[in-house]
Each structure stands twice: as C-alpha cells, then as structure tokens.
Homo-oligomer: A and B are copies of this chain.
Amino acid sequence: MTYLYDDPAAFAEDALAGFCDLHAGAVRRVPGGAVRADRPARPKVAVLPGGGSGHYPAFYGVIGPGFADGAVSGNLFTSPSTQDACSVAAAADSGAGVVFSYGNYAGDVLNFGLAAETLRARGIRAEHVVVTDDIASAPPQQAEQRRGIAGDFVVFKILGAAAEEGLDLDEVVRAGRKANAATRTIGTAFSGCTFPGSDTPLFTVPDGQMGLGLGIHGEPGLRDLPLPSAAVLAEDFVGRILAEKPGGAGDRVAVVLNGLGSVKHEELFVLWTRIAALLRESGHTPVLPEVGELVTSLDMAGVSLTVTWLDEELERWWRAPAATPAFRRGETRHEPAAAPVAEVVAEPAAPRYAAASPESRKLAEAVLDGLRAVRKALHGAETELGAIDAVAGDGDHGRGMVRGIDAALAGAESAWHDGAGAGDCLAAAGDEWAARAGGTSGVLWGAGLRAAGEAIGAESGVVDVRVVVDAFADRVVRLGGAEPGDKTMVDALEPFRTALVVGKPWAEAAAVAEAAARDTAALTPKKGRARPLAERSVGTPDAGAVSLALIVRTLAEGIR
C-alpha cells in the first residue's frame, strides 16, 4: 500500500524532486531525471541507468562518483520517453559519450534505442547495455529475451567503475555486456505493491504460497509454489542459479540478495546465512556481497538472489569505490569538478509552425475536439485498461494512455494558440504524448500522431482519412516492429486500416477494429513478455489493441 502522496499522477516527479532537494550537493534535477551535480575533471563516459520509477535506490539513488553519472527516470513502472533520455544524456555528457543501461523491457528498448539514434545525429556518441538477468523469464536458449531485474545493480556498478577508470565508450560497453553475460537472478514474490491512489495491489499471492520468478513492475510471479522455510528457499535459489553457471566461469562471485520493499533486512539476513553457506559449500567465494534493498518495486514483498561470476577485471570493477546517496563502497578519491554543471539546460527552441490556411485552422478545431473526446474516453477507461494490462503485465497501460492524451491535448492547444494549422496541431500532440507518457504505447502513439499530422499539413481543410491512417499505421508498424498475430495494437490497427482502404466508412472500420481487439484474447504475445506471463495472457485481449479500438470508436462520432 502506498500511503503518502499528494497528486497520485505526479507521485514519481514529486519523489524525484524530494530526492534532489535532499541531495542537492550531489545531484541535480534535469528534465527526465537527474545528473551528478558536478562535471568530471576530464571527459569521461557518462553511465546512465534508467527505466520507470518505483525501484529506489534504482536508478537515481546511485548517482555519484564510481557509479552512475545520471539516471533517466520515467513515470511509475513506465519507460522514460525518448525525450527524457536525450535530455539527461545531453546534461551528463562530458564529451566522451554516454551509455544507457536498462532492463530488457519493450518500452525501454524502444525509447533508449531511439534516444541513442537521436543523440548520435546530434553528435553525441551513445550506446546501450541491456540487462537480461532473470533466469525465470525465458529458457537459457532464449537468454537474450530475459527480463532485467536486480542484476541491474551489478551491471550498473560495473559500468560505473569501468567509466571511472577512464575507459573509452567501447570498452565501457564491453565491461557492461560482459557483466550482464555473467549475471543470473532468480526471485520470488509474496505480495504485490499498490499504486498511489489505488487501494488494491497489482497482484496477490495466495496465503502460504509464493510466486516464483518475480517481476519488478508489479507483474505476478510466473508460477505459485508453497511458501518454504528460509533454508529451503535458499536451496531452491542457489540450485537454480548454479545450474546456469556460465561455461568457463571461476569460483569468485558478486552476490546481491535484494529485498523488493517490505521483506525486511532481518529476514534478508536470515536468508543470507543459508545462501552464504550453500555458495561456500559449492566452492564459491562471495565477494563483497550486498544484502538489502537495491532494486525495489514500491512496497512489494519479494526477494531475489543475483550472482555474477567474476574474472579479474569484473572483480576489480565490482570492488571499486563508489559514493552515492544510497550506496557507498570504500573511500573515493573524487577529483574536484573542473566546473559545475551549467545550471540551465538549454530548452528546445519554441516550435515554429508552418503558416496555416484559414481552412486548416478551422480543421485544427476539429482536431482539438477529437482529442478532447478521446481524452474523455481514455479517462473513463483508465481503470479497465490497467486491469487488462495487469493480467500479464505491469498494469500501467491505462495510466500511460491518460498521461499521453492529457499531454497531447495540451500540446495541440498550445500549438493552436501559436497559430498552427491542423497538421502541426496533431504533430505537436504526438510530440507531447511521446515526451510525457513514456512506455511503449507513448512512443508509438507519439510518433504515429506526428506522422499523421505531417500527412495532414497546414493547407487543406479536408483530410483523406485513409492517407492519414496509413501514415499513422506505417510509422507505428515500422517503429514498433510488431507483426499481425504478435498480440499488440497492430492486431487492431491493420484490420482497421484495411477496412478503410476497401472503402468502409469510419464507423464500420471502427467496429472491425473493436472485433479485432477482442479477438486478440486468443493470441499469445511474441515478444516483450516473460514466457510464462505471455501464456497467462491468453484469454485476455491486448490492452494496446483495446485502446486503439476505443479511440477510433470515439472518433467515429466526429468523422463520418
């Protein structure tokens, strides 16, 4: 249960603001996250972990010498936007490039990937290291599809140490990927967390059971098993981890025993004695083990064990000093800053809009009306969309869509007041949606609306909806990479587009989209979900497809 908040929708930003106030000497808030308060004495690679909020001390709690140079921080359990990632990277770069690192989730992969492309186009070298440590989420043959959970901590720590040594971008990336390849995590959940403003947890575990294979975004465990004693749980964890010991690995290991939020230190210490004994019996030597709350999920009750097999250089980086608000190791010999980070990050220049015809201005009013209608519909459906998403995911879809449409309408209204025509109003809506909503749906809806706006332009007072929907769909399909049958919004979008193309009126095409969205219940997701969760989702439609159908149905009133 989350008890302390003011505006639930602003919870993540309020928390970040409080953290930055508290550690004003060490960190500085920037749009999209936070960075170290001082610049390094010489250019160094900036290590930038990131992801949704709700995992403190991940990710902004470990900003500091020897660890992260900044953190990109999205809304609760929601990927930051591409803009967030670019903003933090621009503030943190000292000339040697940046490396984003994040757990393997579709929204993060999409947004950090786009951000790296954008930064490169601006002349900032940008790479990324994806963490895939959760052995419960996919079999070893599909290790690259695994989720990132508490292994994040080890990978980020090693990236930070490698960068602090002065290695170049390629070497830092190599260090991080090597750490990830040597890292395995298994976790178990006892109860779910509850979002601010909600009074029901994202999931529950039956009494006397535990959900093996936890997620850190309110996903339930992958299968329920009887709750064992600490000694038996330790055997289970260590057995599963050792079964995946990498070929050729030695016997020295970094270990993280991580509490998710309301499993407390005393319990972790009890479990630690059992785990340490089993690791030693198996011939392993734990090196500077960490037992505590390193990657949390609000107040979720759960625990995970992470083991990273160390070679000489990985051990050197794991042992290296670090000084951050939430984690200290050894004594850092931090060189004084060459100069404080500039206090003001350049704001993007005010957008300039193409000169709009009176007809396009008139059409822009219809665009605004449409966005207002969609906004009302999405607010009304927020809870339902979240519930659909929570069956096998993190339950953030409703909130993400609401944040997106709120930002989009505000962006379109602002553009309209600045004299923009219909196309620029819709493009501005897309830009704001992508910037504020984060997540997979945020980046896709944002980019799709921008493409649709570009197709509309600033001249005409009428639109061919087939051209506009084509532009939207092309951009979404290309960016998201989903194919029909993957159980995504594309499964509603493509039949909708086809219905328009063959000449059906909007309302009939919307009905086709609704039917197609319902039919996604029979599908199994092809990517972006841990395997057992993907199977659990059968019987429930895809939340993104349901949203799309709801939106086109809502617009049917205005578009005939």
Contacts and interface: CB of A to CB of B under 8 A. Distances in A.
A201 to B, nearest CB: 12
A286 to B, nearest CB: 9
A261 interface: yes
A466 interface: no
Interface residues of A, number: 56
A50 B508 CA distance: 73
A296 B267 CA distance: 13
Given A229-B5, A231-B6, A264-B299, A18 B272 contact: yes
A266 B53 contact: yes
A4 interface: yes
Contacts of A5: 229-230, 267, 270
Interface string A1-27: 111111000011011111101100000
Interface string A287-316: 001010000101101010000000000000
A269 B227 contact: no
A273 B210 CA distance: 36
A299 B293 CA distance: 13
B270 A6 contact: yes
Given A22-B291, A190-B1, A56 B301 contact: no
Contacts of A291: 18, 22
A347 interface: no
A263 B3 contact: yes
A305 to B, nearest CB: 12
Interface string A222-244: 00000101110100000000000
A17 B273 contact: yes
Contacts of A266: 2, 11-12, 15, 53-54, 56, 298
Contact of A298 (B3, B264, B274): B264
Residue from A6, A210, A291 whose CB has the most chain B CB atoms within 10 Å: A6
Contacts of A61: 265
B56 A271 contact: no
Contact of A262 (B207, B227, B299): B299
A267 B57 contact: no
Given A21-B276, A263-B299, A269 B3 contact: no
Contacts of A343: none
A2 B299 CA distance: 13
A59 to B, nearest CB: 12
A396 to B, nearest CB: 15
Contact of A270 (B4, B190, B299, B303): B4
B301 A190 contact: no
A267 B3 contact: yes
A268 interface: yes
A464 interface: no
Nearest to A262: B262
A190 B268 contact: no
Interface in A146-190: 190
B263 A264 contact: no
A32 B156 CA distance: 38
A379 to B, nearest CB: 21
A328 interface: yes
A191 interface: yes
Contacts of A265: 15, 19, 56-57, 61, 296
A4 B54 contact: no
A272 B56 contact: no
Nearest to A232: B6
A331 interface: yes
Contacts of A328: 328
B272 A22 contact: yes
Interface of A: 1-6, 11-12, 14-19, 21-22, 53-54, 56-57, 61, 190-191, 196, 199, 207, 210, 227, 229-231, 233, 261-274, 276, 289, 291, 296, 298-299, 301, 303, 328, 331
The 7 A-B residue pairs whose C-beta atoms are closest, nearest first, are A18-B269, A262-B262, A4-B267, A15-B266, A56-B265, A18-B273, A18-B272
8 contacts: A2-B266, A4-B303, A5-B267, A6-B230, A6-B274, A14-B273, A19-B269, A262-B299
